């Protein structure tokens, strides 16, 4: 290894003197990371070229870098392109995001009106013409260049466990492209907020430094272990005016159309595979393509069309191991190409004992597009080879199942384009049920032996650890949920669903036509108590299967491309579980349904160990950005699932009608699913769908828009309080008279809401009397004769079905 690295240094040296020679040498295949142009970028240092700058402002979208005075030292050119500089001097950076929600989020983080960072040191990496701009504005200078800050940046990107991003390979993309690049990254040694700040702007989506924020192009993050987070993220400012600033924007390097994956997993969990990936170029000049592949899956070789070996990049598994492939030539926009990757590794799947396996590389066990997420759909052909006697459950339809030697070989084909592919396997037993309407094959997979970690529990509880006897329950739940959700949301493009047991105890996951259920959801309450899992009895175990089944609609059929829209995936799945509880336990009345919504409200409103209520941490559309060391690392979970669910519940309740019940709501949801099947939907897409079907009563602004509602609950953090004072009198002709006063408080003056009033009748029935329309902090007082009612009601209640998310 050491010898190899030394040899590379020699190549780099040669190249810096003979640029044209390097151009010829590049594209040659061989060992990973051996491309000479890449090596030049990997080992880049300052060239000695420097300029003195005074009062120079670099405007990069919403950021203004004011360089009052100092020296800018450039890095050595690669392929004639200068891709970086180190600034030493006096400067500051002012960030003014184009979105109000971003400005207020920054304000919350800094407790100041303006984000202005000061620095004496700045490391820049770019492909956007910064070199020419700075050089033009500066005066030639010499000496005094310190390469230390550049080296620190390179080390942080490679080894800092908060970052591990191969920026050299990202820069290579633009250096090898015949088209001009647009990347700008600033490593800011801030003196005021943090000395580990990065501002980045990339036309193909900002780099996934802390978490993916693409397709947004601009971000400001800190990677300090004690203050890690995304401070701001947004589209290019101009995109907000020309209408392309959406979560479904396609600005990626490629779009993958088809994956053919031939995967072998051995008894010891070693995985080896051959992946043929067909894709189309997203812009002119695509030469280097970033893929997402789990770091321990080591690439052996990559071949192009016609079998020619291709050069690729994959650094050490403990470093910035991002997988990039260098194509033999630059593609033009919409041009198709296909590569074949052979790779293998040990730690992508874990052997949990007794024929239980757990896929650790959940969605990166094959090379997907690194900038993609649950909104990029591809077709899949999968072949799995696992030890004979074991069972495989994968996404798609099972085309064949054979034994070849000591392997069980199954072939799967996607029924519709999928945002992701996954699998579950082991010594499993299978049970199946065929549904008639809709036509669906539902199956359950469980392992009769517990994984190693559950061994301590054996003994008297051993009998109850067998999950086989419990298989019938997920089978029944899936059957019921598919029928119910099809009625509410419309049919799926899928034909089957496998409910499989996974050895991770406390979470489930959904795939197209496949669900992983946590093994602990198969256990009874006694075993779960032994495992210390009583927390889940708040309702988690009851809804985990219906929640995951609902993701077939929310996430798999209708996709969500951006973190800003993820609240719909999780929230709608949680909401669907409420429909399940309402219908499945209907004979018990609304008890399960109401206690579900009470629990959801508690998650949103209870203070976490950091002293924050999830609702105050920020709006739903900040998604996983809300998790940080200050407000808590589970605050997003406590917000987007339950509050996302509440948003849809409130819409359902507003649309509910005494005569037609849920008809209008069902029409809305079915229209939404039909319109966005097989592609990504955004929050604005959903809002437009609600506006298309909203009732007259919901039009509180009189403009056929739902801005009032979305601004309060989706883009905002409003939480009203309500009070009902009432009495019943005898009216003149013996008709009971209902006198009431509803008060709304703790809100802005612009806050509107429809607040339903329910009566519990003398015979115990609950009826909806109507909805009070309230604005700001105000009250409504009325006397209503209860015509046709002989006896006085027992009581009056607001929001009986938790119709409005409000303080309890």
Q: Give the closest residue to 331 by CA, choosing from 288, 290, 371, 287.
A: 287
**How many C-beta atoms lie closer than 10 Å to residue 632's C-beta?**
20
Choice from 63, 221, 409, 573 touching Zn ion (CB under 5 A): 573
State which residue, 283 or 624, has the beta carbon closest to Zn ion: 624
Measured CA to CA, the distance from residue 199 to residue 645 in angstroms comes to: 34
| Pair of tokens at residue 433 | 């049920």
- Using CB atoms within 10 Å of the CB of residue 688, give its burial: 0 to 12 exposed, 13 to 18 middle, 19+ buried: middle
Residue 507 CB, shortest distance to Zn ion, in Å, is: 9
Q: Which is nearer to Zn ion, 352 or 570 (CB)?
A: 570
Q: Is the dihedral of CA 575, 581, 587, 590 positive or negative?
A: negative
Nearer to Zn ion, 219 or 570 (CB): 570
The smaller minimum CB distance to Zn ion, of residues 361 and 573, is found at: 573
Listed ranges 149-157, 202-210, 564-572, 730-738: which one lies at the site for Zn ion (CB under 5 A):
564-572
Distance, in Å, from the CA atom of 436 to the CA atom of 244, rounded to the nearest integer, reads 43
Stretch that binds Zn ion, among 94-102, 127-135, 572-580, 792-800 (CB under 5 A): 572-580
Whether 686 and 568 have beta carbons less than 8 Å apart is answered as: yes
Cβ-based nearer residue to Zn ion, 325 or 573: 573
Task: Decide whether 261 or 573 has the Cβ nearer to Zn ion.
Answer: 573
When the beta carbons of 374 and 615 are compared against Zn ion, the nearer one is: 374
Alpha-carbon gap, residue 397 to 410, rounded angstroms: 10
Packing angle, helices 566-584 and 591-605, rounded to 10: 150
How would you label 313-339 residue by residue, b for 16+ Cβ within 10 Å and e otherwise?
Answer: bbbeeeebbbbbbbbbebbeeeeebeb
What residues from 380 to 419 belong to the interface with Zn ion (CB under 5 A)?
A: none
Task: Select the span of 37-45, 196-204, 207-215, 565-573 touching Zn ion (CB under 5 A).
Answer: 565-573
| Other beta carbons less than 10 A from residue 495's beta carbon | 14
CB of 758 to Zn ion, least distance (A): 31
- Residues 647-666: x where in contact with Zn ion by CB under 5 A, - otherwise, as a string: --------------------
| Cβ pair 203, 217 in contact under 8 A | yes
Q: Which two tokens stand for residue 73?
A: 């030292």
How many residues contact Zn ion, by CB under 5 A? 2
Question: C-beta of 238: minimal distance to Zn ion in Å?
Answer: 35
Residue holding tokens 């942080």?
156
Instruction: Please tell me whether residue 757 binds Zn ion under the rule CB under 5 A.
Output: no
Site string for Zn ion, 425-444 (x = CB under 5 A): --------------------
Q: Smallest gap, in angstroms, from Cβ of residue 116 to Zn ion?
A: 39
Q: For Zn ion, which is the closer residue by CB, 134 or 550?
A: 550
- Could you tell me which stretch among 175-183, 382-390, 566-574, 706-714 binds Zn ion (CB under 5 A)? 566-574
Closest CA to 364 of 376, 381, 351, 348: 348
Name every residue whose Cβ is closer than 8 Å to that of residue 214 and which is 6 or more positions away in sequence. Answer: 204, 205, 206, 208, 251, 252, 371, 373, 562
Task: Return the beta strands (E) in 416-463 as ranges.
Answer: 423-426, 428-435, 440-447
Of 570 and 685, which has the nearer Cβ to Zn ion? Answer: 570
To Zn ion, the closest distance from the beta carbon of 556 in angstroms equals 11
- Smallest separation, CB 571 to Zn ion (Å): 9
| DSSP 8-state symbol, 454 | G
Q: How far is the CB of 140 from Zn ion (least distance, A)?
A: 58
Q: Could you give the maximum distance between any two Cα atoms of the chain, in Å?
A: 104
What distance in Å separates the CA atoms of residue 605 and residue 765, rounded to the nearest whole number? 30
Nearer to Zn ion, 171 or 573 (CB): 573
Q: Please tell me the number of Cα atoms within 13 Å of 199 on its side-chain side.
A: 26
**Cβ at position 551, least distance to Zn ion in Å:** 6
DSSP bridge pairs for 695: none
Long-range contacts from 431-439, C-beta under 8 angstroms, 24+ separation: 431/471, 431/472, 431/475, 433/475, 433/479, 435/479, 435/482, 435/483, 437/483, 438/482, 438/483, 438/486, 438/491, 438/492, 439/495
Q: What is the rounded distance in angstroms from the CA atom of residue 779 to the CA atom of residue 745? A: 9
Residues in 167-226 that interact with Zn ion by CB under 5 A: none
Residue 105 C-beta: closest distance to Zn ion, Å? 24
User: Which is nearer to Zn ion, 36 or 644 (by Cβ)?
Assistant: 644
Angle between the N-to-C axes of helices 540-550 and 566-584, in degrees from 0 to 180, rounded to the nearest 10: 120
Which range touches Zn ion (CB under 5 A), out of 1-9, 468-476, 568-576, 724-732?
568-576
CB of 395 to Zn ion, least distance (A): 16
Nearest distance, CB of residue 592 and Zn ion, angstroms: 20
Smallest distance, Zn ion to C-beta of residue 559, A: 14
Residue 292 CA: distances (Å) to CA of 299, 314, 457: 12, 11, 38
Q: Measured from the CB atom, is 202 or 570 closer to Zn ion?
A: 570
Residues numbered 705-734 forming contacts with Zn ion, rule: CB under 5 A: none
Least separation in angstroms between residue 35's CB and Zn ion is: 40
- CB–CB of 365/271 below 8 Å? yes
Name which of 454 and 573 has its Cβ closer to Zn ion: 573
Rg for the chain, CA atoms, rounded = 29
Q: Is 22 left (phi over 0), alpha (psi -120 to 50) or beta?
A: alpha
User: How near is the Cβ of 529 to Zn ion at its closest, in Å?
Assistant: 25
- Only one of the segments 161-169, 563-571, 583-591, 742-750 lies at the binding site for Zn ion (rule: CB under 5 A); that segment is 563-571
321 versus 573: smaller Cβ distance to Zn ion: 573
Which residues in this chain contact Zn ion in the complex, by CB under 5 A?
A: 570, 573
């Amino acid at each position: 290894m050491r010898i190899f690295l030394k040899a590379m240094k020699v190549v780099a040296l040669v190249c810096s003197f003979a640029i044209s020679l390097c151009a010829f040498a590049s594209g040659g295949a061989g060992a990973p990371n051996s491309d000479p142009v890449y090596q030049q970028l990997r080992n880049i240092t300052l060239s000695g070229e420097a300029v003195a700058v005074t009062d120079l402002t670099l405007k990069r979208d919403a950021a203004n870098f004011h360089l009052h005075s100092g020296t800018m030292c450039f890095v050595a050119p690669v392929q004639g392109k200068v891709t970086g500089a180190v600034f030493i001097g006096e400067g500051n950076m002012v960030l003014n995001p184009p979105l109000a929600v971003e400005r207020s989020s920054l304000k919350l983080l800094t407790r100041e009106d303006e984000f202005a960072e000061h620095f004496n040191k700045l490391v820049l990496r770019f492909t956007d013409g910064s070199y020419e701009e700075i050089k033009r504005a500066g005066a030639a200078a010499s000496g005094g260049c310190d390469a230390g800050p550049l080296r620190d940046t390179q080390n942080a990107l490679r080894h800092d466990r908060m970052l591990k991003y191969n920026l050299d390979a990202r820069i290579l993309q633009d250096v090898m492209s015949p088209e001009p690049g647009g990347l700008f990254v600033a490593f800011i040694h801030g003196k005021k907020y943090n000395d580990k700040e990065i501002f980045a702007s990339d036309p193909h989506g900002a780099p996934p430094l802390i978490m993916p924020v693409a397709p947004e192009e601009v971000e400001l993050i800190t990677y300090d272990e004690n203050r890690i987070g995304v401070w701001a993220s947004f589209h290019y400012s101009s995109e907000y005016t020309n209408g392309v600033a959406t979560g479904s924007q396609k600005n990626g390097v490629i779009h993958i159309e088809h994956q053919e994956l031939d995967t072998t997993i051995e008894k010891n969990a070693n995985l080896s595979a051959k992946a043929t990936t067909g894709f189309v170029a997203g812009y002119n000049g695509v030469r280097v393509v970033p893929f997402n592949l789990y770091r321990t899956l080591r690439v052996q070789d990559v071949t192009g069309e016609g079998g020619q070996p291709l050069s690729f990049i994959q650094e050490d598994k403990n470093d910035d191991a991002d997988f990039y492939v260098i194509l033999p030539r630059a593609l033009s926009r919409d041009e198709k190409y296909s590569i074949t990757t052979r790779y293998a590794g040990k730690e992508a799947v874990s052997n949990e004992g007794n024929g239980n396996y757990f896929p650790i590389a959940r969605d990166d066990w094959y090379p997907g597009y690194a900038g993609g997420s649950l909104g990029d759909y591809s077709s899949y052909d999968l072949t799995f080879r696992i030890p004979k006697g074991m069972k495989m459950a994968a996404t798609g339809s099972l085309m064949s199942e054979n034994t070849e030697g000591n392997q069980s070989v199954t072939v799967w084909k996607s029924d519709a384009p999928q945002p992701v592919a996954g699998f579950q396997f082991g010594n499993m037993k299978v049970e199946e049920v065929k549904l008639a309407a809709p036509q669906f094959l539902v199956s359950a997979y469980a392992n009769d032996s517990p994984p190693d970690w559950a061994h301590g529990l054996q003994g008297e509880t051993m009998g109850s650890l067998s999950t086989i006897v419990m298989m019938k329950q997920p089978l029944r739940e899936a059957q019921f949920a598919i029928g119910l959700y099809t009625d509410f949301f419309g049919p799926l493009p899928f034909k089957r669903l496998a409910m499989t047991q996974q050895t991770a105890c406390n979470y489930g996951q959904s795939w197209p036509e496949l669900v992983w259920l946590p093994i602990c959801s198969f256990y009874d309450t006694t075993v779960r108590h032994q495992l210390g899992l009583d927390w889940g009895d708040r309702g988690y175990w009851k809804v985990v299967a219906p929640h995951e089944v609902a993701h077939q609609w929310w996430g798999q059929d209708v996709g969500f491309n951006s973190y800003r829209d993820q609240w719909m995936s999780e929230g709608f799945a949680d909401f669907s579980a409420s429909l399940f509880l309402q219908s499945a336990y209907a004979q018990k009345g609304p008890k399960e349904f109401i206690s579900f919504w009470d629990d959801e409200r508690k998650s949103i409103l209870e203070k976490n160990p950091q002293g924050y209520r999830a609702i105050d941490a920020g709006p739903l559309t900040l998604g996983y950005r809300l998790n940080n060391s200050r407000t808590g690392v589970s605050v997003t979970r406590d917000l987007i699932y339950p509050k996302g669910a509440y948003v849809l519940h409130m819409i359902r309740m507003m649309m509910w009608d005494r005569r037609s019940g849920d008809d209008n709501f069902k029409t809305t949801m079915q229209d939404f699913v039909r319109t966005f099947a097989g592609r990504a939907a955004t929050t604005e897409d959903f809002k437009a769908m609600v506006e298309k079907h909203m009732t007259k009563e919901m039009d509180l602004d009189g403009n056929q828009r739902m801005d009032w509602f979305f601004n309060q609950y989706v883009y905002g953090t409003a939480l009203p309080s309500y009070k009902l004072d009432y009495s019943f009198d005898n009216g003149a002709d013996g008709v009971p008279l209902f006198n009431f006063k509803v008060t709304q408080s703790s809100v802005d003056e612009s806050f509107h809401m429809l607040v339903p009033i329910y009566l519990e009748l003398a015979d115990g029935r609950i009826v909806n009397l109507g909805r009070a329309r309230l604005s700001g902090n105000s009250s409504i007082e009325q006397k209503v004769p209860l015509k046709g009612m002989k006896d006085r009601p027992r009581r009056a209640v607001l929001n009986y079905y938790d119709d409005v998310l409000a303080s309890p």
